[in-house]
Amino acid sequence: MTAGASVNAGARLDRLPVSAFHHRILRLIGLGMFFDGFDIYLGAAVLGATLRSGFSTLGENAAFVSSTFLGMMLGSLLTGFLGDRLGRRFTYQANLAVFGLASLAAAFAPNMAVLIALRFVMGLGLGAENVVGYSTMTEFVPPAQRGRWLGLVAVFVVTGLPVSALAAWALVPAFGWRAMFVLGGVGALLVWQARKSLPESPRWLESVGRRQEAEALIAAIEREASGGAPLPPPAPSPGPAPSRALSTLLAPPLRGHMVLGCVSLVVINTLIYGFITWLPTFFAKQGLSVATSFGYSLVMALGAPAGSLIGALLVDRVGRRRMIVAAAALSMLFGCIYPFVHDPVWLPVAGLALTVPIYVLVAVLFGVYIPELFPTEVRLRASGICNTFGRGATVLTPFLVVPLFTAYGVGGVLALMVGLLAVLIATVLVFGVEASGRRLEEVAADPGGTETPAAVPGWTG
């Protein structure tokens, strides 16, 4: 192939068999995403310890939380623009270095004001990792396995929840809260070093006109993935590349995809930060002891990796739209049941039953579906904007949750969540695109709102 010819990167990647190359990509991206999740969730243990030791006040703890979400919101937005302009490889290395170095610096913070400022910097990297990690993985994995593999990346992220809880239980009493930041920072920097060998996305290289680099990289990937065996011919080139202009996100078909992406991430972020992370507070206010409260919360936290794994294993077979609707409907059902369960034996069971479908949604929406909706030329910017809306919702969530809980108890909070889930279902039915088994280029061009029978195995009409 000549340097000026189209490399047809997407079609050539899509026809490759899953190989050691894909497993290496999954490990390196997944490990970075794990430490992203670990650093997000360590806040609860750290703030409890800083408050007990007198290092912080309740007001400063609130500022710490706010700075985290503000940093993540801005990081999501910035990395979208940087990733589409400078490449996936640059951004996923830069953001990992940012939150790794800031985490190490936080371990030596002399006062809470410095820790809050460093947490904002960490938030920039944490928000960025979530956008670029999923999007990068999306561009490498063949369509038939894409949902499962992206769902597994989500499993890496949410595993940070129980691991951070266990690490805090083991480390904080013996070494203090600073050890948590050391662990997160060192882990992130070790992954940063390992990820230096991760290649740039050939899809992105082709989209910015760097065809020679894209061709050389595609050829190397083909040799590794095929092991020298002949490969089937790639699908024809999809034709003229979509515009890289940001204005394309406001025109059909991407306008509907943007509405779907923004609504989905607002809903799922509100579920996580309006219910899941408030569980210890809810339990304590309902009269449970601190030990019992955290014990129940830990049981329910196990629903995070379990739900994400279920989502990863089923999403390619069931289909994106039907998986989202089914998980949302189950979350609504258990959300209606949960407020009426008071038996101490059944309460954590009911909570676990509610947590599992919520984290199915986390895996499918965060990890699989949103990055699939947009073409390579604007994928990170679109994902970054959707994540910015989602993270912005977390800033407002406490101002909704606290008054609802005060006035109506946990039932009031869950009524809000059930209403948001109903909005999610309606949005998916109106604007949803079925992406299972389809090339990314086809998904981005689909206006949505209709099921695609050929895309979902077992679909009968």
Helices (H), 254-378: 254-274, 279-285, 290-301, 303-318, 320-337, 346-361, 370-372
Distance CA 309, CA 331 (A): 16
**Residue 236 has what pLDDT?**
86
**Residue 51 has what pLDDT?**
85
Q: Where in the chain is the domain with CATH 1.20.1250.20?
A: 1-227, 247-455
User: Mean pLDDT, 10 residues at a time, over the chain (461 residues)?
Assistant: 65 94 94 90 81 87 86 93 93 92 96 96 91 93 94 91 83 91 95 92 95 95 89 83 88 94 95 76 60 65 90 96 97 90 82 92 94 94 95 82 86 92 97 94 81 44 31
Residue 13: phi and psi, rounded to 5, are -70, -35
Q: What is the DSSP string of 71-135?
A: HHHHHHHHHHHHHHHH-HHHHHHHHHHHHHHHHHHHTT-SSHHHHHHHHHHHHHHHHHHHHHHHH
C-beta of residue 149 within 8 angstroms of C-beta of residue 141? yes
The third-level CATH classification (topology) of the domain covering 247-455 is: Growth Hormone; Chain: A; (1.20.1250)
C-beta of residue 353 within 8 angstroms of C-beta of residue 369? no
- The count of residues in the chain is 461
CATH of domain 1-227: 1.20.1250.20
Distance CA 138, CA 11 (A): 13
- Helices and strands: H and E segment counts in the chain: 20, 0
C-beta of residue 327 within 8 angstroms of C-beta of residue 360? yes
Cα pseudo-dihedral 382, 385, 387, 393, rounded to 10? -150
C-beta of residue 71 within 8 angstroms of C-beta of residue 40? no
C-beta of residue 34 within 8 angstroms of C-beta of residue 157? yes
